[in-house]
Amino acid sequence: MADLSTFPITNKWPAKNPDIIQLYSLPTPNGVKISIALEELGLPYETHRVDFGANEQKSPEFESLNPNGRIPALIDPNGPDGKPIGLFESGAILYYLAEKTGKLIPGDAAGRYETLCWVMFQMGGVGPMFGQFGHFYKYAAEKVANNSYPMERYRDEAKRLLGVMEGRLKNRQWIMGDTYTIADIALFPWVRGVDVFYGGRDVIGFDDFPAVMDWLERCLARPASSRGIDVPAKE
């Protein structure tokens, strides 16, 4: 049995089965990227729900694994050289899982780097900008009731980014063409989130991006997406 005692996070969230991947998460766009990837890969994993209401993501135990105090974070008891490894930042976790299994990423070096470009596009662009849009459009709407600038700025940037995706997805089934990869898994929960979490479908103008919408439907229709999209479920 793997020994995870060097990871203080396991004191607060004990592992029932320390031999399988431990995922610390919530069903947010960043969180579900990892559960969806794990479902696609068929890797066994145990989930631990991090309660934002109790600010658990900023607890010393959580920050011992991710000093940035944000989900998702993960421990793989069977990391490089068979030793346990702790990881944070969803893009890095996705890349790790793809490298570990040789799946959800093209086999050739050029294809792998191109996939990484799109993962980084999500991490540096789509995630932060869509997130700020949601903040000003929904969560902090009252605070900026007299100033439409923040919402408009991030709305327009979100639209621009969707335009980039529209160009990429025209005549492609997936971001990398015929192969479903971690780039799709990084991006689609954020596009879905504009609608499901922020109610922003109309203000962003989803209808202006038909190729993105068709791709989103294809992503959501995958059985692994249904299994991973609400993980960890409420107890």
Give contact residues for ligand GSH (rule: CB under 6 A).
28-30, 52, 57, 69-72, 89-91, 123, 127
CB of 52 to ligand GSH, least distance (A): 6
The residue (of 18 and 158) whose beta carbon lies closer to ligand GSH is 158
Phi-psi category of residue 59: left, alpha or beta, with phi > 0 → left and psi -120 to 50 → alpha: beta
3-state SS assignment for residue 174: strand
Smallest distance, Å, CB 66 to ligand GSH? 8
Minimum distance from residue 3 beta carbon to ligand GSH (Å): 26
* Chain centroid to CA 11: 25
- With respect to ligand GSH, which residue has the nearer C-beta, 162 or 187? 187
| Closer residue to ligand GSH in complex, CB, 127/232 | 127
Q: What angle do CA 45, 48, 49 make, to 5 degrees?
A: 135
Q: In this complex, which beta carbon is closest to ligand GSH, that of residue 123 or of residue 140? A: 123
Q: How far is the CB of 15 from ligand GSH (least distance, A)?
A: 21
Nearer to ligand GSH, 135 or 222 (CB): 135
Residue type, 6: T
Minimum separation from the CB atom of position 209 to ligand GSH (A): 22
The minimum distance between CB 92 and ligand GSH, in angstroms, equals 8
Closest CA to 119 of 134, 101, 104, 108: 104
- Contact at 8 Å (CB) between 58 and 2? no
Q: Which parts of the chain fold into alpha helices (H)?
A: 9-12, 29-41, 60-65, 90-101, 109-121, 127-134, 149-169, 182-196, 201-204, 210-221, 223-228
> Which residue in the shown chain puts its C-beta closest to ligand GSH?
70
Between 69 and 79, CB nearer to ligand GSH: 69
Strand partners, 87: 74
CA distance 81 to 128: 34
Q: How far is the CB of 217 from ligand GSH (least distance, A)?
A: 23
Q: Under 8 Å CB-to-CB from 216, ≥6 apart: which residues?
A: 188, 191, 192
What's the token pair of residue 173? 């089934």
For ligand GSH, give the closer residue by CB, 52 or 113. 52
